[in-house]
């Protein structure tokens, strides 16, 4: 396939490099990293073995042109530029697969690409971009992908197989919305509390930052699970997310909370993507990861006091960061 990667940070670079190594014609749409990747390619420095690829590099989507598959790995805070970036890449046969976190991204893509071309993928991976064109995978890598607002099609399995052939575990979801809520069971507590921890435990419990509070360091996953009160908050948030998903008729088992916590204990100390954004002064992905799930929980009639308090603190911190 001819594949365009839109958003070439850690996530886009990793999966794009995997597909490039598997023999696909992969084009990276780049901004600040253009010269580094054009000259030196992409290095994946995996504990399982390093590898290097040289994808095609472009500064504008017109340089890439029509593609068979478009992978979107932009931060959701940049979704406003999709109407400018996507049209030059899209032909009648193109599939557009958003690998972004949270809820609502498929509808944003569909507004430009069309619902029939839109797919979504949920990524279970821990990655660090350690330099331009250099990515360190720490754990995982699996993708669960599905169609936007419809059952899997023939092309769903074809794209899933292409990703699997690149060395990435990939499965097809019958219900993409369900897959997204299952991922939120991890994303909301570890992304949210990782950032909110800088405001302190009292702020998270009370749902507000007191005037004059000095922000401390953010909390990686191992710290959150080593402290009994933080671990309790992790679990309470997970159970609220599970209840909200189940109230919408989605199969999000309560056992997922134990599974996600134990899986995270096995990881090395890891700072979730929202934590890294906050530490680097970037805009936080609040909408799809926190605010929209809270809105849907309220619409389903599920009380989520911990999620409400977390959203309130994160909103305050986004204004301070």
The structure tokens listed for 141 are 């890598």
Q: What's the CATH number where 108 sits?
A: 3.40.50.720
**Predicted confidence (pLDDT) at residue 239 exceeds the cutoff of 60:** yes
- Grade residue 267 by pLDDT with cuts at 50, 70 and 90: confident
Structural domain ending residue among the three candidates 155, 174, 193: 174
pLDDT for res 140: 81
Whether residues 14 and 148 share a domain: the answer is yes
Whether residues 236 and 216 share a domain: the answer is yes
Whether residues 105 and 154 share a domain: the answer is yes
Whether residues 55 and 78 share a domain: the answer is yes
Highest-scoring range by mean pLDDT, 135-139, 269-273, 304-308: 304-308
Whether residues 129 and 225 share a domain: the answer is no
Structural domain ending residue among the three candidates 150, 174, 198: 174
Structural domain ending residue among the three candidates 139, 174, 209: 174
- Grade residue 109 by pLDDT with cuts at 50, 70 and 90: very high
Domain that holds residue 243: 179-320
Among all residues, which ones are annotated catalytic? 183
The number of C-alpha atoms within 13 Å of 108 and in the hemisphere containing its C-beta is 25
Mean pLDDT of 305-320: 94
**Secondary structure of the chain: what % helix, strand, coil (to 5)?**
50, 20, 25
Average pLDDT along the chain? 96
Q: Over pLDDT 70: what percentage of the chain? A: 99
Whether residues 43 and 88 share a domain: the answer is yes
DSSP 258-313: HHHHHHHHTSPS---HHHHHHHTTPPP-HIIIIIHHHHHHHHTT---HHHHHHHHH
3-state SS assignment for residue 303: coil
**Predicted confidence (pLDDT) at residue 321 exceeds the cutoff of 50:** no
Q: Work out whether strand 67-72 and strand 90-98 pair parallel, antiparallel, or are unpaired.
A: parallel
Mean pLDDT of 64-68: 98
**Predicted confidence (pLDDT) at residue 313 exceeds the cutoff of 80:** yes
Whether residues 216 and 315 share a domain: the answer is yes
**Predicted confidence (pLDDT) at residue 320 exceeds the cutoff of 60:** no
Whether residues 221 and 82 share a domain: the answer is no
User: In the chain, how many domains are there?
Assistant: 2
Q: What's the CATH number where 199 sits?
A: 1.10.1040.10
List, for residues 78-94, the tens digit of each pLDDT value. 999 999 999 999 999 99
pLDDT for res 301: 98
pLDDT for res 268: 80
């Amino acid at each position: 396939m001819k594949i365009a990667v839109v958003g070439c940070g850690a996530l886009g670079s990793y999966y794009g490099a995997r597909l490039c190594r598997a023999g696909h014609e992969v084009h990276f749409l780049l901004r600040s990293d253009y010269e580094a990747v054009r000259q030196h390619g992409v290095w994946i420095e995996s504990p399982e073995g390093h590898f290097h690829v040289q994808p095609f590099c472009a500064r504008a989507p017109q340089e890439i042109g029509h593609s068979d598959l478009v992978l979107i790995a932009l931060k959701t805070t940049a979704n406003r530029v999709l109407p400018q970036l996507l049209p030059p890449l899209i032909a009648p046969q193109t599939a557009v697969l958003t690998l972004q976190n949270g809820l609502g991204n498929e509808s944003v893509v569909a507004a430009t690409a069309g619902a029939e071309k839109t797919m979504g993928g949920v990524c279970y991976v821990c990655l660090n971009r350690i330099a331009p064109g250099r990515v360190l995978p720490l754990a995982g890598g699996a993708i669960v992908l599905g169609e936007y607002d419809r059952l899997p099609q023939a092309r769903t399995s074809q794209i899933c197989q292409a990703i699997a052939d690149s060395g990435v575990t990939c499965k097809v979801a019958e219900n993409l919305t369900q897959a997204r809520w299952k991922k939120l069971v991890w994303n909301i507590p570890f992304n949210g509390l990782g950032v909110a921890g800088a405001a302190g435990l009292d702020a998270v419990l009370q749902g507000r930052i007191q005037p004059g509070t000095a922000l401390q360091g953010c909390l990686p996953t191992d710290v959150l699970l080593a402290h009994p009160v933080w671990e309790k908050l992790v679990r309470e948030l997970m159970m609220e997310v599970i209840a909200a998903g189940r109230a919408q008729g989605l199969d999000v088992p309560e056992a997922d909370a134990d599974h996600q916590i134990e899986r995270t204990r096995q990881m090395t100390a890891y700072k979730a993507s929202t934590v890294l954004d906050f530490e680097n002064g970037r805009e936080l992905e609040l909408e799809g990861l926190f605010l929209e799930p809270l809105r849907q929980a309220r619409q389903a009639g599920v009380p989520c006091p911990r999620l409400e308090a977390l959203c309130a603190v994160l909103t305050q911190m986004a204004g301070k960061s």
